[in-house]
Amino acid sequence: MKRYFEIFAALFLGTTMMFSCQQAEEPTMDQGTVPQTRAYGDTPVVAIYVETNDTNPLNAGDYMLSNGKPFAGIVELFASNIHKRTVNGVVEPTLFLTDKMTNLLENGGYQTYVKPLQDKGIKVLLTVLGDWQGIGVANMNDTQTTQFAKILAHAVEKYGLDGIGFDDEYANYSSTNSTSYSEIITKLHALMPADKLITVFDWGYTNTLNSEAKACIDYAYHGYFGSSFMTSGRM
């Protein structure tokens, strides 16, 4: 049976959490000699997406530079999913965590899987991804963007994370609008402490992001290659 964890916003209370999870399988960590790599310098920042369904995120902290600093500057926990629920005929966005992600973040997971990376100077973010639900970052209305921004800000605070990463894939949109993505980012930025990060993988409807939203993005990862990327004007 698929185990899951959902977070949703209640209209009458702002943000409310709903849990439905079971005991999850403990991820395994490779043991052995910590690999050393050549010095990479302070920039660019190396970001690692960790597929949490089958990889322990602590592995990303094993790679150290010769100067004693971690190779990765950012670890993106990949991924949570955008789901929805209907309450009295009104569609509300929810945040879905798989059983493996639930295990990483709930029931002391922060101390086991997140804090050890942070103690090495690595920022740990939660990636948000579509999930064939017909809802995503590019098709929410104003009320829904407010709800979803509150959900994400609450998740960052609750789980001790360093921010949120957006990846606009697999939403299965029937329609989109030009304001949703920007509103989610700007509202989330306003709700989180100044030291929290927002990242965006350049895929999907990033072309709808306005200048205010772009100013709130700390790092963007391009998903396009070749000469056309350099002249596309995306991000």
Residue 164 has a pLDDT of 98
Residue 175 has pLDDT above 60, yes or no: yes
Decide if 184 contacts 146 (C-beta within 8 A): no
Percentage of the chain lying above the pLDDT 90 cut: 74
Mean pLDDT value across the chain: 84
Does residue 181 contact residue 206 with C-beta atoms inside 8 Å?
yes
Tokens of 15: 């943000």
Report residue 1's pLDDT band, with 50, 70 and 90 as the boundaries. Answer: very low
Catalytic annotation, residues: 169
The predicted-structure confidence for 27-38, as pLDDT tens digits, reads as follows 444 444 444 333
Cα–Cα distance for residue pair 202/205, rounded to 1 Å = 8
The helix/strand/coil state of 56 is coil
Average pLDDT over residues 1-22: 35
pLDDT at 155 over 60: yes
Which residue ranges form the domains of the chain, and what is each CATH number?
Answer: 4-22+46-224 (3.20.20.80)
By residue count, the chain amounts to: 235
Give yes or no for residue 86 having a pLDDT over 50: yes
